[in-house]
Amino acid sequence: MAVNTQESSKPLEIIVIPYITPGHLVPLSEIACLFASRQEQVIIITTTEKAPVVENTIKHCKASAHSISVHAIPFPYKEVGLPDGFRLEHAKDMETASKYYHGLGLMQSAMQEFMRTRSPDCIIADKFFPWTSAFAETLNIPRIVFDPCFMFRKALQDALLNPNSPHLTVKSDYEPFVITDLPHPITLTRSKLPANTYAMLLKLQREAELKSYGVVINSMSELESEYSEYYANKLDCKVFHVGPASLIHENVDSKVDRSHNSVVSKEQVLSWLDSKNRNSVLYISFGSVCELHDEQLMEIACALESSNCDFIWVVRGKTNKDDDSTWQPKDFNINGKGMILKGWAPQLLILQHPSTGAFLTHCGSNSVLEAVIEGVPLVTWPLIADQFCNEMLVTQVLGIGVEVGAEDWRFFSDLDRKIIKREEIEKAVRMVMDGGDVVQEMRKKTKELGDKAISAVKTGGSSHQNLTNLIHELKQMRDKCVWH
């Protein structure tokens, strides 16, 4: 679409409202930087506790004198019965998570009051804030939905709403069935689908999304164009692929400083990786929310010992004061072979290093995308949220990963979950790390996708053009005072 150069040069004022878990907060903050780098004015609303994370993410954008800022609102801890500073990532059960979600609901009036004082031209809000669709209508401005999921997940979710979907007729949660309505036949089981409570939340989000102007997605159209077209055509919905937004971090410092503070310095990580052979290191991380219990950690440790590969393992929920013997085999020797990080890791830095040969991942959408950018094949181990769908995209559509064998969707990663045995873990790890013909083909496919991702965000690339088109459409609506 050609952009009208005669349109108003006045910058848009855009309010951005990210959800507060890192997998939502960081990519939308990075997308906010994309708008600011186009000389639009951006204000990000978040909680007081999350403001430093956002500030870290946008630091280099602000340093370039772009108009981007943070408006922090205190979280009502006392009102919902949570201790000060509590993070949703700390929740171990549904009752605690519900308290936090209720607290975000109590912040709604303060967010609305602030937006009324600003009179923005557009609201870009995470899907977990469906109320922003109706509120944007009261301001007579468009709301854009940010969904950190891939379009593949959204298309699959829509296909499962079909009253004739085969998942409604299988006799067991573990009986495989095939969805044939999509561009590719997708095999799954009911055990990999969200719990009913979560599914209802997704339904509310979808209804609010259909009242919005469109959806902004943190990936490039080349990754899943067939699914974007399927979804856009079926739901008459505008889809704007504008990512991968993490590519705004162009140098080492920017990649390390991104979001949370790392528990290890860039010098330590790079020095260790530099000492390893190309494609010899397995990187292991289950993201910022998922926490595995000791029995499962022990199986991973034993598998690493048996496979004898070098590794960097991010272990969430452990500190240096904990007794490691509860989750490591006796005489577990990591000297020279492994690096265990108990806290936040510089993931972008690790994935881009030539020594990193594979990524054992929970299949969070950001982790998958970051691996794709760097051409790193995956060992897939989904746990919650959209992660099983992402595994299907990686293994059944893109062909760039190997499954460990996870079967059960659970709200919380340590709740009544089947233990994946060391033999299964070792088998999947060896398959990806030992470098046979199948893995070489995976590396080739992943590298091709990574090259497309980098090209997409460059001037003239698909994501760059999609962002240009979206800004143009928003300015047209503003200048003509047209919405609805």
Active site residues: 24, 126
Concatenating the DSSP letter of every residue in 276-298 gives: S-TT-EEEEE-TTT----HHHHH
Distance CA 209, CA 256 (A): 34
Distance CA 267, CA 306 (A): 29
Q: How far is CA 115 from CA 119, 120, 453, in A?
A: 6, 7, 34
DSSP letter at 215 equals: E
Distance CA 172, CA 395 (A): 23
Distance CA 44, CA 124 (A): 9
Strand, coil or helix: 126? strand
Distance CA 261, CA 286 (A): 17
Other residues' Cβ atoms within 10 Å of the Cβ of residue 270: 17
User: Is residue 217 within 8 Å of residue 147, measured between CB atoms?
Assistant: yes
User: Is residue 116 within 8 Å of residue 138, measured between CB atoms?
Assistant: no
CA max distance for the chain: 71
Q: Which residues pair with 341 in a beta bridge?
A: 314
